[in-house]
Amino acid sequence: MGDPAETTHAGVEDTGYAAGLRNELHGLWLDVLRQRAPEVAQKAIGESAWDLSGDQPATSYLQAFNIWFQLLKIVEENAAMRDRRMAETQDGPEVVEGSFARALDLAGELATPERLQEVASQFSIGPTLTAHPTEAKRVTILEIHRRIYRGLVSLEAKRWTPRERAELLEDLRSEIDLLWMTGELRRDRPSLQDEIQWGLQFFRDSLYEAVPQLFDRYIAAAEPRLGATADAPCLKFHSWIGGDRDGNPNVTVEATAAALTANRAAILKRYQKALTTAAERISISAAVFALPDSATARLAKIIEAAPGAAGFEARNPGEVFRQALTAILARIRATAAEEPGAYAHLGDFISDLTQVEEALEEIGAHRLAARYVRPIRWQADVFGFRTVTLDVRQNSTVTTETLTEIWARSGDVPEFGSPGWSERLRRELGSASLPYMMPDELSPQSGELLKLLRLMRDAGAGEDPQAMGPFILSMTRSTDDLLGVYLLARYAGFGAEKAALKVVPLFETIGDLRAAPGILSGLLDVPFARRSLKSGDNRIEVMLGYSDSNKDGGFLCSTWELEKAQRLITRTLAAHRMQPVFFHGRGGSVSRGGAPAERAIAAQPAGTIAGRMRITEQGEVVSSKYANRGTALHQLELMASSVLRHSLQEGTPPVNPEHDDAFEALAGMSQAAYSNLLNGPGFLDYFQQASPVEELAMLKIGSRPARRFGAGSLEDLRAIPWVFAWSQNRHMITGWYGFGSAVASFRKFRGARGEAVLQDMFSNSPLFRLVVDEVEKTLLQSDMDIAADYATLVQDAEIRERTFGSIRKEYQLAREAILFLTGDCSLAARFPRLRARFGRVETMLREIHKTQVRLLREERARKSSTVPVPLMQSMNCVAAGLGWTG
């Protein structure tokens, strides 16, 4: 059985529709090429004619490839949306993968009204947009792609005459032509302001509107079980854009404040538009329809509180709903301008909307309330006066250095990690008062951190207390790391009894994951930290790093260590009568946790979700999920329904000791093979020369540097360029290396019984099945022939032969392991859609890789300090063809 995402409902799949769209767009693409690049069009007529070898100029060819890859993705997105609609039309929402209706249908008897109400009452999901540099597309390009997508949606209608349809196709051709003339590449690295606006664009284009539709879908699915008590689930968007300063010197306190301002302005502008529409449409007149006194009274209070209330009656006599909505609009305008009459607190705005909605319900105008007022109230619940909750992330190295500097002002400082350091931390946290610290008297780095904490304190006391989120501490390696942040918060002016600040540990490496339960237990033993964390609902947020743990131990080992960490953290916190909320730091690729959301959530350990989950959405994943409203709605419903279904499971099923023992053995052997490769002589030289990792740093796809502190070691290289580089050269070791050796050794030493255990795990362990599926997909996209071309860039023959020889051998072992487990004769036979999708770009990708190798060789011979346009284009093309960067 393959990935559910690879199959469609019986009778719904319409390959003819997608193929027809591809043919039409291919014709339009060729037409643009004939006008703009005739030499490219000539070769594009027959795919086998593509050849970029020799001295041919590559720029036009690569631009053509890149546009075509993007068009293919847009067609696929449109066809998938159409398939879901047709499935629901034919057989109802219960057959649509990822829908609330299907999740409740599959839950069956587990979804009793009592159990569903219990889960719904604590349900919360938090998609988190990050500023990681994995998005190679500019906002201008994303907007053109969105117009092309909407053009394809328009083409679906059957009402067009031949002349009208030809005009729609001509519009599409003009957008493809615009893509050609605009160009994909960034010539300058994006500023932080560019990234902030990039993130907000997805809310303006799709997410603001998708959220009320998501809630409508949940209520429609839950009402048969819950009746009128069914209400919208909790959904909160977070963002790191403007708050993530881990290794990014561009993110200052001023930049964070600017992000807060931009986020606030965007949603207030949306409310003004929606309230204007509601006030225009709801024209109920007391002269025609007598309103109950209770409804009139509640609306009158809203009107009286608004600036300029006296003029509302004169402008709209007798139309109290219009007057009330105009009053709310006036207060939102005052809020946006920070003028008298503004809402002092988000709750007041939601209360006013609720009063209008209830007044409409009271007179039986249910549909008017549902169309014009309830969506704004739901948006206010989700987006507040902030659009997103802005998280802060900083590295533990910075917090430790800041605390050291503060302590040094009053005398000797104990050594970090010593009993003296720990004792002083706890003593000061327990003291009634601490000296006030002036940020300007400290070094720029330390002063910035104290100013940031004060900004977080002030935001928590503002009009929307959720404008800023937790302080996420990357590279958390001890309880003292976390306590240090709490002590800095006290120096910044937070309370002495407890801090209204959530400090979230980020466990990234294999060692950190193993130490996590002890670190959290130690944290809760400190009264100040325990009081700060327990205020609320007795839940502690814990972030898990998929990227760095993979880079540290390889895919299989990382997956198992993340599983164990979640189980042990949940058990540890239960002893303190607390529950974790896991925040999964996933990326787009398999090696960064980017498995299909529904299956990845289903494979989480039982009892570790309990209705709540946060997950990062990074780079190209954001644009692929949220650029268009229909897809955004589906992706949100997929995530929410998967969390709902997982949470409905009763109790914790017994662990299979034999499966756990096998996983432990496989993870250990996999890590050993992976570590042997990374620690082999000359491996770093091989990586730097056989991949475009150094040139990648010059690709203008993010404001953040590729290395945390500018060092040149593997340890300090960020996980994202690590994965990106291995995908560019098609080695892709981050998604499979070590798996083959582990399975081969397991079979060798455990014999027939071991093979039976592996087959049983493949059939019955969701986690192991997920690992096998994702390894298999990555192997399909790996190509040892292409990889061998990149290996020729390594100057030292001994290093080249030894390192690539190990990679090729491990690839063969991984391939054999997959075929043994699946019983198939070829890779990815279970994933026909993936094979077909990849097959459509494979020939072009081969020529792009040949060109990239040639360009790398030429540029390195020149020892150029800049990356030429064709080389940058080739990296964009490979990313577009594979569907992800890192």
Amino acid at 118: E
580 backbone dihedrals φ, ψ, rounded to 5°:
-90, 150
Amino acid at 393: R
Task: Tell me whether residue 273 is exposed, middle or buried, using C-beta atoms within 10 angstroms of its C-beta: 0 to 12, 13 to 18, 19 or more.
Answer: exposed
Tokens 């207060």 correspond to: 331
Buried b / exposed e over 713-733, threshold 16 CB at 10 Å, is: eeeebbbbbbbbbbbbbbbbb
**How many CA atoms lie less than 13 Å away from 82 in the CB half-sphere?**
21
Amino acid at 84: R
**How many CA atoms lie less than 13 Å away from 872 in the CB half-sphere?**
18
DSSP 600-662: HHHTSPTTS-TTEEEEEEETHHHHHHHSSHHHHHHHHHHHHHHHHHHHHS-S-PPP-HHHHHH
Please tell me whether residue 128 adopts helix, strand or coil conformation.
strand
Instruction: Please measure the distance between the N-terminal and C-terminal CA atoms of the chain and give it in whole angstroms.
Output: 27
DSSP 833-886: HHHHHHHHHHHHHHHHHHHHHHHHHHHHHHT-SS--HHHHHHHHHHHHHHT---
- What is the CB neighbour count within 10 angstroms for residue 75? 23
Q: Which of 722, 677, 669 is nearest to 556 (CA)?
A: 669
392 backbone dihedrals φ, ψ, rounded to 5°:
-115, 135
Note the maximum CA span of the chain: 92
389 backbone dihedrals φ, ψ, rounded to 5°:
-85, 120
CA dist 762 and 598 (Å) reads 18
Task: Tell me whether residue 330 is exposed, middle or buried, using C-beta atoms within 10 angstroms of its C-beta: 0 to 12, 13 to 18, 19 or more.
Answer: buried
Is the separation of the CB atoms in 282 and 336 below 8 Å?
A: no
What lies within 8 Å, CB to CB, of 450 at 6+ separation is: 402, 437, 439, 442, 488, 491, 492
DSSP 27-72: HHHHHHHHHH-HHHHHHHTSGGG----TT---HHHHHHHHHHHHHH
CA dist 206 and 136 (Å) reads 20
CA dist 650 and 834 (Å) reads 34
Q: Which of 627, 543, 524 is nearest to 586 (CA)?
A: 543
Please tell me whether residue 204 adopts helix, strand or coil conformation.
helix
Token readout for 648 is 């409905």
Is the separation of the CB atoms in 203 and 127 below 8 Å?
A: no
What lies within 8 Å, CB to CB, of 687 at 6+ separation is: 693, 714, 725
Task: Tell me whether residue 697 is exposed, middle or buried, using C-beta atoms within 10 angstroms of its C-beta: 0 to 12, 13 to 18, 19 or more.
Answer: middle
Q: Which residues are catalytic, by number?
A: 132, 551
CA dist 834 and 763 (Å) reads 21
* Beta-ladder partners of 506: 543
Please tell me whether residue 506 adopts helix, strand or coil conformation.
strand
**CA-CA distances (angstroms) from residue 534 to 426, 506, 526, 531?**
18, 19, 12, 5
